[in-house]
Amino acid sequence: MKHVESAPKLNITKSLQMFEDAQRLTPGGVGGIRRPYNFVIGEYPIFITHGNGGHIFDVDGNEYIDMLCAYGPIILGYVEPEINDAVKERIDLGFCFSLVQPVQNELEERLANTVPSGEQTILVKTGSDATNAAVRAARAYTGRDVIARCGYHGWGDWCVENHGGIPQAVVDLTKEFKYGEIADLERVFAENPDKVATVIITPVGHPTAQPVVAPPDGYLEKVKEITHKNGAVLIYDEIRTGFRVAMGGAQQRYGVTPDVTTVGKAMANGYPIAAVVGKREVLSTYEKAAFLSSTFFPNSLEMVAAMKCMDILEREKVQDVIWERGTRFLDRLGKIVDASGVPVTKSGIPPMPYLTFDHVDDHYKERRTEFYTQCIRRGLFVQPYHHWYIAYRHTEEDLTRALDVVEESLAYVAQEYPYSA
């Protein structure tokens, strides 16, 4: 076997210096999933200066092919002139008022007509806003308290992974079930008879640091059947899959429509907006039975960006292009994995590929760390605990280079941490 040299360590001096300052200025230096321990400490940049197309640039001048895509919002590419120009035009007219602006109606109607579950729409700012609002509506509609969840749904008290600062009574009202296992969902209902308000699920499975899984045949149909049989509301959390796997999200592609859907991320190519789109009878609880308000929910810049982004998605048939490129990417990725000799699993759907390092011996963590170290040194920006994304502005050259980096990095891992089954 040909010897593979380690890629040279990047110069990230400025990033590290800025991170020292940041830790004095804010808890942890940077927020949540952007903290260095979620990448490889001392190897990944922390501060980014700008982006262009499918690339990002850090404060030390390093350039990367970015397949994390800001954790999902960048479906087109960085710095889209058509979207930015529309937003700049709105800035000159004002965008934050005591009353709403006409673009609200336009976007809400468009969402209701685009997402299969749509009858009414509530516009919010973040994915957590949307999932929190959807769950509250379900509780108000059913008069029940228990939530059955499957997937990552944001930082609300009812779903956050770290329970620090959250009353145990709140934690106890949320019950988890495993993706793809109908019996586990049935267990939740059996253990909580007439108490479950909603089942909230990511229709494409993507648990942290685990394989990304397309829904097994018949699974989403069965989830819907069991949920309705037990008098609960079915919510799809499509914050990641909405506008990425299809214009109407995973529910359109896989043909099973929930009662309520949350969308965000790719909806406006990075501008902060999200939405709850669902049945009128459920969402209308916000007329009297439930409360939702924010000073900034009616701001129009993000709405304008979303309208223009959706124009581009439809005009360019972006999802079809991403699906086609992603299919080729996953096919070659699988061949690279098979030839590598490294115990690693290729998973995902074409717009959302991923590699999971198999827990086969005591070295699986070292393999994972070394792989991502070699990737970032070679100019591929991906994350160990989160699936990757393919954006519209990723060129064929970008994707070919990304696969070459994966192949080189796995070859180095195989050499440094050999495995025999």
pTM of the model: 0.96
Secondary structure, 3-state, 121-163: EEEECCHHHHHHHHHHHHHHHHCCCEEEEECCCCCCCCCCCCC
Cβ atoms of 238 and 206 closer than 8 Å? no
DSSP 367: H
For a pLDDT cut of 70, what percent of the chain falls above it?
100
What is the pLDDT at residue 2? 79
Q: Are strands 55-58 and 48-52 parallel, antiparallel or unpaired?
A: antiparallel
Q: For residue 194, what is the enclosing H or E element?
A: none
pLDDT band at 36 (very low <50, low <70, confident <90, very high): confident
How confident is the model at residue 38, as a pLDDT?
86
pLDDT reported for residue 85: 98
Average pLDDT over the chain, rounded to an integer: 96
In this predicted structure, the answer to whether residue 67 has a pLDDT above a threshold of 80 is: yes
Q: Mind listing the pLDDT tens digit for each residue in 158-169? A: 999 889 999 999
Q: What is the pLDDT of residue 420?
A: 84
C-alpha to C-alpha distances, 294 to 123, 165, 267, 357, nearest whole angstrom: 10, 23, 20, 42
> Model confidence at 97, in pLDDT bands (50, 70, 90)?
very high
Of 61, 57, 77, the C-alpha closest to 69 is 77
Q: Which of 220, 204, 139 is nearest to 387 (CA)?
A: 204
* Alpha carbon distance 211, 270 (integer Å): 25
The position carrying tokens 């969902």 is 185
CA distance 248 to 170: 33
Query: Residue 185 burial (CB < 10 Å; 0-12/13-18/19+)?
Result: buried
pLDDT > 70? residue 273: yes
**Residue showing tokens 């404060």:** 59
Q: Which helix (H) or strand (E) element contains residue 355?
A: strand 352-357
DSSP β-ladder status, 146-150 and 260-263: unpaired
The answer, yes or no, to whether residue 359 has pLDDT greater than 70, is yes
* pLDDT tens, residue by residue, 191-243: 999 999 999 999 999 887 778 899 999 999 999 999 999 999 999 999 999 99
Question: Which structural domains are found in the chain, ordered by start?
Answer: 13-78+318-416 (3.90.1150.10), 81-315 (3.40.640.10)
pLDDT digits (tens, 9 = 90+) for 172-187: 999 999 999 999 999 9
Amino acid present at 164: G
The residue type of 334 is: G
What's the confidence (pLDDT) of residue 1? 61
DSSP state of 67: S
Spatial CB neighbours of 273, under 8 Å, sequence gap ≥ 6? 123, 124, 125, 264, 267, 302, 303, 305, 306
Distance separating alpha carbons of residues 173 and 338, to the nearest angstrom? 43
pLDDT at 130: 98
What are the b/e assignments for 245-275, b being 16+ CB within 10 Å?
Answer: bbbbbbbbbbebbbbbbbbbbbbbbbbbbbb
* 290-318 pLDDT per residue, tens: 999 999 999 999 999 999 999 999 999 99
